[in-house]
Amino acid sequence: MTGLLILGAGTMAVEALDIAETMGCFEMLGFVVDVPGAAEEVEGFPVYTADQLSLTPNDCQVVGGIVSTKRRGFIERMAKRGYRFTSLIHPSAQISRRSRVGSGCVIHPGVIIASNTVIEEHVMVNRGALIGHDNRIASFTTIGPGANLAGALMVGSGCYLGVGCVIRDHLEIGDRAVVAAGAVVVKPVAANTLVGGVPAQVLKDGVNGL
């Protein structure tokens, strides 16, 4: 079994642990946080700060268990130290054999990913999300529970797509954009923009993911 460290120690990290346990091919070694202040133990496993971590890149693989798109900095720092990233994919997820999931992703229960879709590195796809055909989801994006993405979409890096949002086909969602929960997106979304409502309208400019 492969040793596993999960970045983060919150509720999403525990969900990542659930997926790893269900997969049955990892030995959980603990959680890692970027700054001190977390509990010493979560779900019976130790919580380390990155600075005190004695496990080397040869001892384990790593995955991000942080829902915020701000996880990027922590992940990149760990990668610079030589840690290798793995993906967690729940057995109930349905992923087309013609699609690809990059390293460091977390794919939750009930997710469906249709054909010829590319999920880049460090993407989190939450419970029951539906991702259509011929999409490209760029790195460090978070897709919320029950989101429904139609086909031929380009979703930029570091985006946050909220719970139950619906996005029409053949659109582009710019880098670090945020789509609010329940929004229905029928036109392109510019980078660093928050949209919400039915149909979705711009609510705020200058956002940086969530």
- Domains of the chain, residue spans: 2-80, 89-202
Cβ atoms of residues 43 and 20 within 8 Å: no
pTM (2 decimals)? 0.96
Report strand pairing: 193-196 vs 201-205. Answer: antiparallel
Helix (H) or strand (E) holding 107: strand 106-107
Residue with tokens 């600075």: 51
CATH 3.90.120.10 fits 2-80, yes or no: no
Distance CA 162, CA 100 (A): 23
Confidence at residue 132, expressed as pLDDT on a 0 to 100 scale = 98
Q: Classify residue 152 as left (phi > 0), alpha (psi -120 to 50) or beta.
A: left
Position 42, amino acid: V
Residue with tokens 């705020």: 204
Between 38 and 191, whose confidence is greater? 191
Of the pLDDT bands very low, low, confident and very high (cuts 50, 70, 90), residue 36 is confident
Say yes or no to pLDDT of 107 above 80.
Answer: yes
Distance CA 186, CA 49 (A): 43
**CATH number of the structural domain 89-202:** 2.160.10.10
Closest CA to 90 of 114, 113, 72: 113
Residues paired with residue 63 on neighbouring β-strands, in sequence order: 6
Confidence at residue 35, expressed as pLDDT on a 0 to 100 scale = 83
Of the pLDDT bands very low, low, confident and very high (cuts 50, 70, 90), residue 196 is very high
Distance CA 130, CA 69 (A): 20
Cβ atoms of residues 190 and 178 within 8 Å: no
Of the pLDDT bands very low, low, confident and very high (cuts 50, 70, 90), residue 39 is confident
Cβ atoms of residues 8 and 64 within 8 Å: yes
